[in-house]
Amino acid sequence: MTVPGHVRQHMKLGLTFSAAERFLREELQVFSVPERPCVCCCCDWNCWTVDGFPVWVGTDELRLKLGDCFEQWIADEYPNHLTCYHIIWAVKKWLQEHGAEGSSVCEVLMQPPFEWEGVGDAKWFVSHVQSEHPKQTLLTMQEHSDDCQWVDIFSLRQWQKDFEPGEIHKLIKEIGSTVSVIDAQKTYTKKIFCIFEAYSAAEEEGSTFEVLIQQEGCTRGRCMAYCCGCWCCPGLYGNQFKVKSREATTRDNVEERKIKRFIQSNAGFERVDKCLEERLSKDAEDRAGDGWATVLVAPLSVPVNLLFAPSESAICNGVFTCLDYWRILRW
């Protein structure tokens, strides 16, 4: 594709996992960590802190906190499910309170009085659906926790129309490493923003393109976010991704038309669909057998650098039972 223009400096900024977690906890106060020790025996998703399990704010509580700075459709569509849509409006209120409607979270955190560590040029681009729970966004960021990562919540100027297809396309290529997070409902491949971002990464030869797949019904957060396919869950292996970019949508009709015009005038819908279907399926299949080993018995004291995924086994009260073979994925 031929892309005119350049990438603005603020668009290159991202946060590390620690900075993102700190911002959500200290500034937005959308979750808290009770003063209690972590008692789980494995590397459950909750254990990103040393103090205990995060408790996320309820949707009703957050809605009251945001007041007028909230869109009713979010409450109507997600009455009991906290999403990144909620977080974005919390970010907008936070920016408004700091007189920074023209800035992104990353820009504000780089300046006095904040001047946080963990803000800088992004090394990874995170592509995800905004309907996911923010804990899943943090889980994805934790995969490359030491690197600054471009995440729309923190990197875009939320009070502005800051998503320009040509600029984002070029930005993704400049960053060179992208993570696409396929939600359990598989709505990712129906969202034009997500398709556009994934294709921008997938078409680039030599770029790093990772696919993480959440599996519906899986009760273990790490498994959902990190096993790159949840091959322990029945029926997913060999799944082919179907992409129909021409039919993909977004809530903003103006943005949808803008992205589709960009696709049509450059690669074309058919090329985008074919490229993305092949790349997504290939990456998922490659990861299905990459790094797996089989052991007979899972010890009760599990090393934190291993991810366990049971095959027709049971997890009881957080303790692994030894009913069957266990598959181990090292990350």
The pTM of the full predicted model, rounded to 2 decimals, is 0.79
What pLDDT was estimated at residue 170?
A: 95
What pLDDT was estimated at residue 71?
A: 86
What pLDDT was estimated at residue 281?
A: 79
What pLDDT was estimated at residue 67?
A: 85
Q: How far is CA 61 from the centre of its chain?
A: 24
* For residue 113, cis peptide bond before it (omega within 30 degrees of 0): yes
Please state whether 196 falls in left (phi above 0), alpha (psi between -120 and 50) or beta.
alpha
Question: How buried is 64 (Cβ within 10 angstroms: 0-12 exposed, 13-18 middle, 19+ buried)?
Answer: exposed
- Return the sign of the alpha-carbon dihedral for residues 195, 307, 83, 156: negative
CA nearest to 331, candidates 229, 227, 208, 218: 227
Phi, psi of 209 (to 5 degrees): -135, 110
Place of tokens 């680039």: 204
Please state whether 289 falls in left (phi above 0), alpha (psi between -120 and 50) or beta.
alpha
CA nearest to 327, candidates 300, 301, 291: 291
CB 218 within 8 A of CB 233: yes
What CA–CA distance (Å, rounded) separates 287 from 237? 11
What CA–CA distance (Å, rounded) separates 164 from 168? 6
What CA–CA distance (Å, rounded) separates 4 from 167? 8
Which amino acid would we find at residue 185?
Q
CA triple 159-110-147, angle to 5 deg: 100
Low-confidence ranges of the chain (pLDDT < 50): 1-3, 41-46, 48-51, 218-238, 290-331
SS3 state of residue 194:
helix
SS (H, E, C) 73-103: HHHHHCCCCCCHHHHHHHHHHHHHHCCCCCC
What pLDDT was estimated at residue 40?
A: 52
35 Cβ contact partners less than 8 Å away, ≥ 6 residues apart: 51, 52
Q: In this structure, which long-range contacts are made by residues 202-206, counting pairs with CB atoms below 8 Å and at least 24 apart in sequence?
A: 202/275, 202/276, 202/279, 202/280, 203/1, 203/267, 203/275, 204/172, 204/173, 204/176
What pLDDT was estimated at residue 304?
A: 30
SS3 state of residue 294:
strand
pLDDT one-digit tens code per residue, 239-257: 567 899 999 999 999 999 9
304 Cβ contact partners less than 8 Å away, ≥ 6 residues apart: 43, 47
